Amino acid sequence: MEDIPRSHPRYWSLVTRQKLVDAMKEGVVVPQGLISHGRGEAFDYILGEKSLDFALEAERTAVAAMLLAKRPIISVNGNYAALAADDIVKLSEQLNAPIEVNVFHRTEERVKVIEDFMKRHGATRVYGSECQKTHIPGLESARGIVCVDGIYSADVVLVAIEDGDRTEALRRMGKVVIAIDLNPFSRTAQAASITIVDEAIRATKNMISMAEELKGLGKDKLRDIVSSYSNRRTLSMAFRAMLERLEYASSKGIIIDLGFRDEVNV
């Protein structure tokens, strides 16, 4: 890992980027994944780089749905693995949900690389290169491949930074799809049953704590949480949050006051 000065005002953002770059060198992340991450960063900037109320509500509902599920599963792609492997493993244990490696730019070698990466981070139940495979109906080519006993048979699927087309196909199969996606405009955000508009690392950490708490509740209480949820409301609130932050910014223009004078002297 490159040396990033601790004093840099965006130290954690730079460290997170470095994680992805390192994972790209290992073959876990493809270059296109870095561009996706950059897009997410932009939306996170607008949202203020924290887990807002609507995100916390979606995360809580997601945990309740995963705990109620007969066959919950966590779908892991290159970016999600690179960002949050340790936390994904913890969440998988808390929810008693296995992991399936599922990538947009699919080669069996890359699936194996991510599978090994997750196992090095402590994952024990991983569907990957060696499962019995089938296809998601309506998804052509390699990106439709899933494991028969994994995503294909799951009733609730957690995806993160996912392709919109695939999210839609999973919903058409009748599955509950929980999507972590910072862009509420995206097809994934729009198609999911529960959209978590939050950064993947923060969202996963939040869900680990919530799972610890919600595991103590009965099924009825969990069902109450799930039945009172509306994804339309969540998405409205996400757009609304972006709006409010921009309203403040538009009234100020300069929101980080660094003490410079607002005039140009040449």
> Which residues participate in the annotated binding site for ATP?
17, 39, 181-183, 187-188
| Number of residues counted as binding a copy of itself (CB under 8 A) | 82
The answer to whether 19 contacts a copy of itself (rule: CB under 8 A) is no
Q: At its nearest, how many Å lie between a copy of itself and the CB of residue 85?
A: 19
The structure tokens 């998804």 sit at 139
Stretch that binds a copy of itself, among 17-25, 86-94, 118-126, 202-210 (CB under 8 A): 17-25
Please, are residues 52 and 241 in contact by the beta-carbon 8 Å criterion?
yes
Among 36, 51, 92, 102, binds a copy of itself (CB under 8 A): 36
Q: At its nearest, how many Å lie between a copy of itself and the CB of residue 153?
A: 15
Stretch that binds a copy of itself, among 8-16, 116-124, 125-133, 200-208 (CB under 8 A): 8-16
Q: At its nearest, how many Å lie between a copy of itself and the CB of residue 247?
A: 6
Task: Please enumerate, by residue number, every residue annotated as part of a binding site.
Answer: 17, 39, 181-183, 187-188
Please, are residues 166 and 145 in contact by the beta-carbon 8 Å criterion?
no
Q: At its nearest, how many Å lie between a copy of itself and the CB of residue 83?
A: 12
Stretch that binds a copy of itself, among 123-131, 198-206, 208-216, 225-233 (CB under 8 A): 225-233
Stretch that binds a copy of itself, among 116-124, 160-168, 197-205, 207-215 (CB under 8 A): 160-168
The answer to whether 165 contacts a copy of itself (rule: CB under 8 A) is yes
Q: At its nearest, how many Å lie between a copy of itself and the CB of residue 234?
A: 8
Question: Closest Cα partner for 175 from 214, 162, 48?
Answer: 162
Residues 105-134 that bind a copy of itself (CB under 8 A): 105
- Contacts of residues 92-97 at CB distance under 8 Å and 24 or more positions apart, as own/partner, are 92/123, 92/125, 94/207, 94/208, 94/211, 94/212, 94/215, 95/63, 95/66, 95/67, 95/211, 96/72, 97/66, 97/69, 97/72, 97/73, 97/158
Give 120 or 250: the residue with its C-beta nearer to a copy of itself.
250
| Distance from C-alpha of 35 to C-alpha of 139, rounded to nearest angstrom | 23
The answer to whether 32 contacts a copy of itself (rule: CB under 8 A) is yes
Residues 181-210 that bind a copy of itself (CB under 8 A): 183-187, 190-191, 193-194
List C-alpha distances in Å: 125 to 66, 90, 153, 201.
Answer: 16, 12, 15, 21
* Sign, Cα dihedral of 145, 99, 221, 209: negative
Find the helix or strand (DSSP H, E) in which 133 lies: strand 133-135
Specify the amino acid at residue 244.
Answer: E
Q: At its nearest, how many Å lie between a copy of itself and the CB of residue 13?
A: 9
23 in helix, strand or coil?
Answer: helix
Residues 51-110 that bind a copy of itself (CB under 8 A): 61, 65, 68-69, 105
| Distance from C-alpha of 204 to C-alpha of 85, rounded to nearest angstrom | 10
